Structure 1
């Protein structure tokens, strides 16, 4: 599965943070990309994609909606593989978590996989899940635990804690595995942690907004510990999962633990002119991020050296400044 010359692939939710970088890398490697967005007429969703190298010759944009059954058929028809990244990413629910988060995540995933099962040309599906579907197992993680691909979030725990985003990603991944097994689909799942790094799209997304908040001296997760993984590493892992013939199952891709002090020191070192507010020292201590992630499996895809956290954070802030988002 090496090399993209002449191959056609689909990327759902292509205007998103990770997906935009997947599209960029696919085009650079010679693939023809059929990209789906909810509204092809929304220039904020398409302009940055159409500006990518190779887009004029090998990028086609299609309209598709997660909860509209069959809406991905035109985009997936004739494709060798499908990257399913489209899913709502937010921790805030206005009124109904089922409608706002769970249905689009779960029904959208099954909608895409149903279409893939009907299209004989599709050889592999790569699903973007999340460490959220990993990190809340039945037994609470301790600071010395080593997490690998065998860890799954307990849906009842996520529901009890009203962690609706965690629940949506967990249920969507579980539904994907069940459907793939029943329909003999070659499914690969990537489980990235909190993603940082430069934006290709023109607006803030959830994970980069976390960094913007940290720069203001706020602490979105009320924790002394964070861990970030660079968007370029995550996107490349997706492409490698397509091109590695022996790839199988899940792949965790997450960064090392850093303290909020480490993060602020990076900001001050690289951007001394920025007005970075003092932190609120009265913070809860959460142990959930002090575990260690085993990345041996993702290294088998050729992702040997992850971008250092300080480099990723620096590039995030540079990108935010360039796009006037600070």
Structure 2
């Protein structure tokens, strides 16, 4: 087992990606220090305590993104830190302060704790495709997006896309701080992460799939429905960039780019009883779509799960946890 004898920290461990990351790390033999906002909240901790290996090798810590030094005890003694904690919301009512401050200050607080812990060898930051591809010029179907692309922060500010801005500014701050403090850091940029979820409450991207099924074309125009990746592939990529010494810089994580109308078509074929194809048959255009390069991430040995499998597993999980019935 690759992680035997190694201690790592996962921040924001109760979240969708982080829960899977903790699960796979435990499976690989790692000892995991996991931070959550509240140890008293069963929605944050019950699913983590139920994971195989948790009794022997999972240690939970309370930490707050906005509180300086609050990650020190969790990170102390770890050789790897996976920083996944960051607020997620695309709600129109979410404010700049609610999203940008915890993302930027939280990232700097976690990196500060890493500098104070001489045991830390590598830091993996979970960013997003939001910090790669948000620009004022429309993306063409001939474009291939890769790790050299950066989102336009002025455009995110002008258009009041606070979640996107939070990801751009947090990544920018992280690279600057890592450079100044000689931290070996890697950033991962997943698209819309789907697949089964371990936590008891529905996460943002699973809700996106649920709403796509329920509301369909009301959501079709949003570009967020164009880039998909399975949560299990994202968890594996985090561990690979930590374990492979040569892994460095940024990695785009997108298994498939596809317009939401095509996604609905796949869901309709998987679940004929949903009658999606009847409902939208006049409105399912084949839309040419951009590509996201997989060249760099494939060098880690990551093979992406097919979109059909990811969608089926997402929907089965939504049904099983009573978030969707049909």
TM-score by length of 2: 0.93
Judging changes above 3 Å, is the alpha-carbon distance between structure 1 residues 211 and 41 closer, same or farther for their aligned structure 2 residues? Answer: same
**Residue aligning to 1:163:** 161
Give 2:268's aligned residue: 268
Q: Would you say the 8 A contact 2:268–2:275 is kept in 1?
A: no
Summarize the Cα distance change of 1:31–1:95 in structure 2 as closer, same or farther, 3 Å threshold.
closer
Bigger shift: residues 136-145 or 252-261: 136-145
Alpha-carbon deviation of 1:154?
A: 1.2
RMSD between aligned residues: 2.1
Q: 1:64 maps to which residue?
A: 63
Task: Give the secondary structure class of the aligned counterpart of 1:171.
Answer: helix
CA contact (8 A) 1:149 1:250 kept: yes
1:13-44 deviation digits (Å, cap 9, x = unpaired): 00000000100110000000000000011111
Deviation at 1:280, TM superposition (A): 10
Measured against aligned partners, the alpha-carbon deviations of 1:44-89 in whole angstroms (never above 9, x if no partner) come to 1111111111011000111001001111011001101100000011
Deviation at 1:223, TM superposition (A): 4.2
Checking the alignment, whether the CA contact within 8 Å between 1:217 and 1:279 is kept in structure 2 is: no
In structure 1, what is the Cα distance between the partners aligned to 2:313 and 2:83? 26
Q: Show the 5 A alignment for 1:179-218.
A: 179-218=177-216
Following the alignment from structure 1 to structure 2, what is the Cα–Cα distance between the partners of residues 191 and 105?
15
In the alignment, structure 1 segments of 5+ residues that lack a partner are none
Q: SS at the partner of 1:9?
A: strand
Answer yes or no: is the 8 Å Cα contact 2:233–2:304 preserved in 1.
Answer: yes
> How far, CA to CA, are the matches of 2:12 and 2:25 in structure 1?
15
Tell me, yes or no, if the aligned pair for 2:259 and 2:289 is still in contact at 8 Å.
no
**Secondary structure of 1:184 counterpart:** coil
Q: What is aligned with 2:252?
A: 252
State the alpha-carbon separation in 2 of the partners of residues 93 and 199 from structure 1.
Answer: 25
Q: State how many pairs are aligned.
A: 320
Looking at structure 2, the residues matched to 221 and 120 of structure 1 have their Cα atoms a distance apart, in angstroms, of 48
Cα distance change on mapping 1:70 and 1:260 into 2, 3 Å: same
Q: Against the structure 1 CA distance between its residues 159 and 221, is the aligned structure 2 distance closer, same or farther, given a 3 Å change threshold?
A: farther
Give the Cα–Cα distance (whole angstroms) in 2 for the partners of residues 140 and 11 of structure 1: 36
Q: Which residue of 2 aligns with 1:42?
A: 41
1:201 Cα deviation after fit: 0.7
Give the match for residue 76 of structure 1.
75
Q: CA deviation at 1:187?
A: 0.3
The answer to whether the 8 A contact 2:220-2:260 is kept is no
Structure 2, unaligned stretches of length 5 or more?
A: none
Structure 1 position 281, deviation (Å): 6.8
Residues 222-264 of structure 1, C-alpha deviations (whole Å, 9 max, x = no match)? 2486231111011100011111111100000113222333222
Residues 204 and 118 (structure 1), Cα distance of their counterparts in 2 relative to 1, 3 Å cut = same
Alpha carbons of structure 1 residues 65 and 281: separation in structure 2 relative to 1, 3 Å: farther
Secondary structure at the residue paired with 2:301?
coil
